[in-house]
Structure 1
Amino acid sequence: MTGISSLGVGSGIDIRGLVDQLVAAERAPQQNRIDRQAERFQTQLSALGQVRSALSSFQTQVRDLAQQNSFLSTRATSSNEGAIAVTARDGADAGNFDIQVNRLAQAQSIATGAFASRDAVLGSGSLTFRFGAVEQDESGAVTGFSQNADKATRTIQIDPANNTLQGIRDAVNGADIGVRANIVNDGSGERLVFSSTESGEDNGFLIDVDSADAALNRLAFNESSTETIITRSASNAELTIDGLAVTRSSNTITDLIDGVTLDLRQTTETAARIQVETDNSGAREAIEGFVAAFNELQGKLRELTRFNPETETAGPLNGNAAVRNITSQLRNALTAPLAALEGREVRAMADIGILTTREGGLELNADRLESALERDPDAVAALFGRTGIVDGGGFSFDSSRTATENGRYGVNVSELASRGRFSGAGIGGGPISIAEGDNTFRILVDGTRSEVLTLRPGDYDSPNAVARELQALINGSSVLRDGNRSVSVSFDIETNSFTVTSQRYGSESSIAFNSVAAGLSASLGIDGGVATAGTDVQGTIGGVAAEGFGQFLTGQSGPTNGLKLKVDGGQTGDLGSITYSRGIMSDLDRILQDFIGANGSISNQTNSLNSQLSRLDSDQERLDRRMSQVESRYVAQFSAMDQMVAQMNETSQFLSQQLATLNFNNNNNRR
């Protein structure tokens, strides 16, 4: 302030200090109130931040536990890992199995005759690879062939750009047709070696050559070839499981024991013991982690809301209604039984050994948990996550939505889903001849149209041979493969007709032919054939009509809204019931989100405290302005007083000087 540094000069009083003391004394009550409130609000904000963090950490644990597949797992072991390695997915069939490997699956390999060099020019033409089971005599000569209907015939064009051994090798490998080519020098010259990329008898192959050049024709491997030899025959794996003989095309077997993958590595003299059992260790660890996380949360809430009667001190959130509400709602959710599990031994946390303590925390009885997992693992899973427990057959639980409510719902199917198909006209039995140049067509599968396809010309010994070739050709279409479209082709000996059936179910499933060569149409009975569209499954869930799409039936309203079932059995009528449970974790997640979400009570309290802190900032500004005015008033008042005192001092000094002069003059006059 102007003049403050010279205050008190006139009076000799410490006016600056006096003004500061007076202002401080007047400021103190209101400043203390603001400081106390600001400190309390800041402390509460910090405490609420700790609560939010603790709740968020617990919510993460809750959401992890809701994924019940993460802890209900299956373990598989092999007594001879060197011969049979084994893995199991969750839910695999438990049991003990004795498996002996008598033969490993092999992929076919063939070697051409020797050539002078890798750069030898073989001529132009085409190599056609047909896939299936190759029959041989003792000398290795091809005596028969059965087409693999699931593998399309593939053709590689050979021209001056790729007509050397190296060029052909690269063309075959680049085409990705299921055959790998290599060049090997065995001492007699350079040979092309072709090997199937898949093992199994049905994955052998023949090579037909269409060329006017003798050198290129040396690569042929079929009933009439003489130079290319088979070096390794295609064979299936042969094994016994509990004494039952089985064969598979691959050494990796996924369909022998449900949910179990076997990796055959070598043959065995004796059986290996395969053990598949439920692995509860993951469940125990996950549930122990949940109990620990809840107790950590409760500890933090107790710390922030405590009251110590001895010291009469309270935590920053003591008496906070929202925090009390959090504790109450979480405890209620954890102790209430699930109505959806009515009638089962496991329907509440206490049934699996999760018990509340006197302090409000949780404790786990490991023996009770183990017993529950052994008795009813599905119900244990239903306690924690979204689960559908099926009582019946012909359908399975697929998924649900947030709107789906807990409950037990009957399932009734009035119409099964069907696949679109094309049924040809009768053609008669016996061999079928397909003429070259009159053998092309296009096909629409589920609305996707293929490129122009060419059925291999020649004489087929039976309609079934044509069916296998036709199925392989259609499924080998690059356009249809890209669209994930496929078909099956069969021949009915009773009606003497071909049927092409989509692999997809539902109203979007269909088969249609167009641009069919006249001769091919007549040979296959396409003229006069009938196309039938697929249909969606129809039925009810919980007595309410559900929407069908393919094999999936989905509830559209009421408690079953969003409940999605897959109906893949072969029966209609009442199929049983499904017990759906959102799980306690879903309820906990919702409760937690209500508190820590953007519009939750924690956010509301935080916003309220921030508003009050903003109000205190305004109070502080007003107090500072008022105190500045008070200070200015005191300074003005004391400045005026100081000036008056200074003037009085000056007058006093003047009078003193005058009196002194008078006294001096009087003394001189007396002399």
Structure 2
Amino acid sequence: MAAASTESTITASAGASAVAGQYTVTVDALATNHQLISQAYTDQDTTSIGSGTYTIAVNGTTTEIAVNELTLTGLRDAINGSGADVSAFIVENDGAYHLVLSAKTAGTDGAITVTPVLAGGTAPAMVELQAAADTRVTLGSGANAITLTRDGTTLTDVIPGITLTLSSASVGKTATITVSGSNADVRTGVSAFVTQVNAFLDAVTQLSSYNADTGETGVLFGNSRLQQIKGELLTTITAQVGGLATGMNSAVQVGIRLGTDGKLAYDNTVLEAAVNEDRERVVRLFSTMGIATSPYVSYLSSTSETQVSDAAGYTVQTTQAADRARLTIAGGELPETLADDETLTLNNQTVTLTAGMTRSQVIAAINATSADSRITATLTGADGTGTGNYLTLTQADYGATEYVKAVSTLAAGGTGIGTTLVTAGNPGAGNVGRVGKDVVGTINGQAATGVGQVLTGSEGAAKGLMLQVSATAPGDLGTVTFTRGVGGVIDRLLEYVTRAGDGAISNVQTTLDANILSLDDAITRGEASVTREVARLRMQFNAMETALSTYKNQSSQLANLIAGLPTYSLG
């Protein structure tokens, strides 16, 4: 089970793969939906926006809408009926009407681009009403904390096995997530797993059914691919899981078996004994996990391309540790109290300081805006380390793309920042700056991509394996043993089955679509053939009618000729 210390604003639930412990999560920002708004119109159902096309692009998908003298209301309805990933509505304000587009997908993935090609009317000129922003959370605390961005408010991959649900009240809050091991949770998870698999098997049976009495069939009766998927699923569940020790590397060993009815069943006694003996091994049997030998390496996630490691695991080596950008104002110590009012701009965020503020109050005022500026203030030595009375500004996030920018309204005195912009990379005379760095290294001896503290395998067996590396110095960081349990293998199978374009279901759909097109083409050809045959028969009928009429005329003429012949009598 999982519990959050700020349960009213951040809720946490644990799956079977959750690892017992305490985790600190700070919600820095919540994802927002991108919104655009038009200029004001005096009406919504009279003024024409013109004719042409109105194109909407969201997350790589483009939808083109044909426009023919539509009004604002007509365009709204056309957008909502187009299937575009936006909602359109009209807002009235003091007799003025505005068209608003709101992305259905939260975060930067839902950013909207509109391209109107309209003429002959008053086309809507859209401007941004609300920017698209991702959820931003900080995992951990202190110098080694990392900041992650996600596109929603339900987060499933921040802490492995934990689902975090956020609300608007979560922003700025820090929660301690406590995950406690519970054998009952594991048993419940296995039971739910069996139930869900059986529900899928029931669906397959229904879709492929045949009733000999009525002749009725399921919609996918006779589809061999459906039966293959069913077989692959059952084989996956009962097969041995690579990378796990003998004795706990198959679902059969925890009491799961295939019943005579073709569905899964489990022996609760066997499951209970297995969980009581070694809960963590049962969890690993069903979960996708990475176990690191170094305390400075943590498993974050993987992809369907990541391969299971052998018992030795994947080696992790770094040649550069991640670091955060830092700027120390070393021209002089921060005054005990400020003599003048001063306004700072730190990473485009304003901090207002007033005369009489103490050092600690200045530090607190700067840190009060950290959620937005991503800068924290401390008092250090002149070189930015240790203790002292020099103002040091440190970027909250690790990485080469992170930065510290500072400027003040005071040319001299006060914080000492000055009216000339100073940065971690260009600290100015007398100051000390340090740019941020991405971790650089390899996983399994092959290339990996570093972004901040996150190192991701980019080729080979470890491709897609994502690790957090919190070490402050480069070197050999041991190994990570990656295993893909029954649940992970099924996820991989379902990813292939449901994948757009070349997945199993997509291929079946393509085949069915091709068959439908072929039948449509056959029907069209058949209809054309019938039409030609009808035309031929009509021509023959008309020709027969003409010939019959001619024969009737000839018969009439012959009758008249015969009637006009002289008659003779023999006497």
1:289 aligns to 2:196 (yes or no): yes
- Mark the CA change 1:375 to 1:641 in structure 2 (over 3 Å): closer, same or farther: farther
Q: What is the SS of the residue equivalent to 1:278? A: helix
Residue aligning to 2:469: 567
Q: Deviations over 1:156-197 (max 9, x none)?
A: xxxxxxxxxxxxxxxxxxxxxxxxxxxxxxxxxxxxxxxxxx
Which of 260, 282, 298 aligns to 1:396? It is: 298
Amino acid across the alignment from 1:482: D
Which of 526, 542, 545 aligns to 2:447? It is: 545
Residue aligning to 2:337: 434
Q: What is the rounded CA distance, in whole Å, between the counterparts of 1:349 and 1:494 in structure 2?
A: 54
Which of 355, 360, 365 aligns to 1:473? It is: 365
Q: What is the rounded CA distance, in whole Å, between the counterparts of 2:184 and 2:221 in structure 1?
A: 51
Residue aligning to 2:395: 502
Q: What is the rounded CA distance, in whole Å, between the counterparts of 2:257 and 2:412 in structure 1?
A: 78
1:486 aligns to 2:375 (yes or no): yes
Amino acid across the alignment from 1:363: L
Deviation at 1:573, TM superposition (A): 1.7
Residue aligning to 1:597: 506
Deviation at 1:346, TM superposition (A): 5.7
Which of 489, 492, 495 aligns to 1:586? It is: 492
- Mark the CA change 1:372 to 1:402 in structure 2 (over 3 Å): closer, same or farther: same
Q: What is the rounded CA distance, in whole Å, between the counterparts of 1:597 and 1:340 in structure 2?
A: 29
Amino acid across the alignment from 1:503: A
> How many percent of aligned residue pairs carry the same amino acid?
21
1:90 aligns to 2:14 (yes or no): yes
Q: What is the SS of the residue equivalent to 1:583? A: helix
Q: Deviations over 1:461-515 (max 9, x none)?
A: xxxxx3x3232121235xx6534x2304134697645344332222234446554
What TM-score, normalized by structure 1, do the two folds share? Answer: 0.46
Which of 302, 306, 326 aligns to 2:226? It is: 326
Q: What is the SS of the residue equivalent to 1:469? A: helix
Gaps of 5+ in 2: 22-172, 419-427
Deviation at 1:539, TM superposition (A): 1.8
Native 8 Å contact 1:416 1:570 kept in 2: yes
Residue aligning to 1:379: 284
Q: What is the rounded CA distance, in whole Å, between the counterparts of 1:388 and 1:94 in structure 2?
A: 14
- Mark the CA change 1:338 to 1:547 in structure 2 (over 3 Å): closer, same or farther: farther
- Mark the CA change 1:557 to 1:294 in structure 2 (over 3 Å): closer, same or farther: same
Q: What is the rounded CA distance, in whole Å, between the counterparts of 2:246 and 2:318 in structure 1?
A: 26
Native 8 Å contact 1:412 1:575 kept in 2: yes
Which of 170, 175, 178 aligns to 1:258? It is: 178
Deviation at 1:615, TM superposition (A): 2.1
Native 8 Å contact 2:296 2:471 kept in 1: yes
Q: What is the rounded CA distance, in whole Å, between the counterparts of 1:568 and 1:640 in structure 2?
A: 105
Deviation at 1:452, TM superposition (A): 6.2
Matches within 5 A, 1:412-423: 412-423=317-328
Native 8 Å contact 2:2 2:12 kept in 1: yes
Residue aligning to 1:608: 518
Q: What is the rounded CA distance, in whole Å, between the counterparts of 2:244 and 2:217 in structure 1?
A: 42
Q: What is the SS of the residue equivalent to 1:602? A: helix
Q: What is the rounded CA distance, in whole Å, between the counterparts of 1:411 and 1:566 in structure 2?
A: 11
Deviation at 1:610, TM superposition (A): 2.1
Q: What is the SS of the residue equivalent to 1:545? A: strand
Q: What is the rounded CA distance, in whole Å, between the counterparts of 1:348 and 1:613 in structure 2?
A: 52
Q: Deviations over 1:76-121 (max 9, x none)?
A: 79xxxxxx9x9863166769xxxxxxxxxxxxxxxxxxxxxxxxxx
Which of 505, 516, 529 aligns to 1:619? It is: 529
- Mark the CA change 1:507 to 1:317 in structure 2 (over 3 Å): closer, same or farther: closer
Q: What is the rounded CA distance, in whole Å, between the counterparts of 1:563 and 1:357 in structure 2?
A: 36
Amino acid across the alignment from 1:395: V
Which of 479, 485, 508 aligns to 1:576? It is: 479
Deviation at 1:355, TM superposition (A): 4.9
Deviation at 1:553, TM superposition (A): 1.1
- Mark the CA change 1:391 to 1:496 in structure 2 (over 3 Å): closer, same or farther: closer
Q: What is the rounded CA distance, in whole Å, between the counterparts of 1:624 and 1:615 in structure 2?
A: 14
Residue aligning to 2:353: 454
Amino acid across the alignment from 1:504: D
Native 8 Å contact 1:335 1:350 kept in 2: no
Q: What is the rounded CA distance, in whole Å, between the counterparts of 1:523 and 1:434 in structure 2?
A: 15
Amino acid across the alignment from 1:597: S
Deviation at 1:631, TM superposition (A): 3.5
Q: What is the rounded CA distance, in whole Å, between the counterparts of 1:291 and 1:509 in structure 2?
A: 49
Amino acid across the alignment from 2:263: L
Matches within 5 A, 1:521-536: 528-536=430-438
Aligned residues: 382
Q: What is the rounded CA distance, in whole Å, between the counterparts of 2:20 and 2:220 in structure 1?
A: 53
1:362 aligns to 2:263 (yes or no): yes
Native 8 Å contact 1:427 1:496 kept in 2: no
Q: What is the SS of the residue equivalent to 1:487? A: strand
RMSD across aligned C-alpha pairs, in angstroms?
Answer: 5.1
Amino acid across the alignment from 1:475: N
Q: What is the rounded CA distance, in whole Å, between the counterparts of 1:338 and 1:649 in structure 2?
A: 102
Q: Computing the radius of gyration over CA atoms, which structure comes out larger, 1 or 2?
A: 1
Q: Deviations over 1:288-344 (max 9, x none)?
A: 1332222332343242xx8x6x99x89799996xx2233224413441447654546
Q: What is the rounded CA distance, in whole Å, between the counterparts of 1:413 and 1:610 in structure 2?
A: 61
